[in-house]
Amino acid sequence: MKIKQMFEKGTVFSFEIFPPKKTSSIDTIYNTLEQLRDLKPDFISVTFGAGGSSNNNTTCEIAQTIKEKYGIESAAHLPCINYTKEEIVKILGEFKKHGISNILALRGDINPDIPPKSDFKYASDLIAFIKQHGDFDIAGACYPEGHMETDNLVTDVLNLKKKIEAGAEHLISQLFFDNSYFYSFLERTQIAGIDVPIEAGIMPVTNKGQIERMVSMCGASLPSKFSKMIQKYEHSPEALRDAGIAYAIDQIVDLVSNGVDGIHLYTMNNPYVAKRISEAVESIIRS
């Protein structure tokens, strides 16, 4: 099923997972999926590997298993900065062979160990290329606080519009911890004439190290109440985990109450956290 069709039925609720590290068995992710499937997300997206690393075969295998074994629609992430057009064509062929019809098209992270290729400079270039090479449902990424490499928010939303014009049919946002940034972002997209469904990306923070990594990677702002929560519970792992879950639930309730198109939960491969959040918001999202 094409993910874009899901938005016609109501609020979409989806998960993101990532393949295990090369030093870990792939069985670890299947153990995670066994627990996630009972939560019945609309779809699960599978990353291509952190930091620009290549993980094509594993991504394909996991995405195919999600769809065929667990009966849940899947989406494969596809970064482009480290690939030539010929390599992307091969990857798209693998996607087709594995029955993957939904793609999250990304520029990808800069990997200092891998010199970028010159075929694709922006995600919009990849989106246009995918449109020419198969009948895929294409999602794009968006950044409520602006992309870290963009000078200003006006330029950021104009760059986002290029993704839509290239063929992106819905969007998934980067994580944020202050919903007001997301609402302001939606206003900018409306002014720019961007009229596609936008899922809000929610990251439940369950340990201090996690927040430090996320802020350095994506530049998300930390509102005062969030910072106070971290400071109060940073030396109590269980309390911080529970507070982080509660904070994410509060964000989701507010977003759904304000008519958000969907919620994309960054699970960090943690089924316990995903389960607690899903059970808390299921009736709200499905009502």
Spatial CB neighbours of 104, under 8 Å, sequence gap ≥ 6: 45, 75, 76, 77, 78, 139, 140, 141, 172
CA angle 54, 55, 61 (to 5 degrees): 160
pLDDT for residue 56: 66
CA angle 102, 108, 112 (to 5 degrees): 150
Q: Which helix (H) or strand (E) holds 103?
A: strand 102-106
Spatial CB neighbours of 162, under 8 Å, sequence gap ≥ 6: 122, 124
Spatial CB neighbours of 166, under 8 Å, sequence gap ≥ 6: 124, 125, 127, 128, 131
What tokens does 98 get? 């594995």
Q: Around Cβ 155, how many Cβ atoms within 10 Å?
A: 12
Q: Which residue, among 42, 22, 20, has the nearest Cα to 31 in the 3D structure?
A: 20
pLDDT for residue 3: 98
- The better pLDDT of the pair 72, 118 is held by 72
Euclidean distance between CA atoms 99 and 53, whole angstroms: 23
pLDDT for residue 216: 76
Contact 204, 262 (CB under 8 A): no
Please say if the pLDDT value at position 43 is more than 90: yes
pLDDT category at 51 given cuts 50, 70, 90 is very low
pLDDT for residue 204: 96
Give the catalytic positions in this structure. Answer: 16
pLDDT for residue 50: 46
The two beta strands, 12-17 and 262-266, are parallel
pLDDT for residue 282: 97
Contact 50, 58 (CB under 8 A): no
Positive or negative torsion for Cα 29, 246, 275, 141: negative
pLDDT for residue 49: 63
pLDDT for residue 53: 47
pLDDT in tens, 114-139: 888 889 999 999 999 999 999 999 99
Euclidean distance between CA atoms 82 and 115, whole angstroms: 7
pLDDT for residue 114: 82
Q: Around Cβ 45, how many Cβ atoms within 10 Å?
A: 26
Average pLDDT, the chain: 94
Count, in order, helices (H) and strands (E) of the chain. 11, 8
Euclidean distance between CA atoms 115 and 222, whole angstroms: 33
pLDDT in tens, 202-256: 999 998 888 877 777 788 999 999 999 999 999 999 999 999 999 999 999 999 9
Domain 3-286, CATH class in plain words: alpha beta
What tokens does 64 get? 């195919």
What tokens does 5 get? 């069709």
pLDDT in tens, 151-200: 899 999 999 999 999 999 999 999 999 999 999 999 999 999 999 999 99
pLDDT in tens, 90-121: 999 999 999 999 999 999 987 788 888 889 99
pLDDT category at 55 given cuts 50, 70, 90 is low
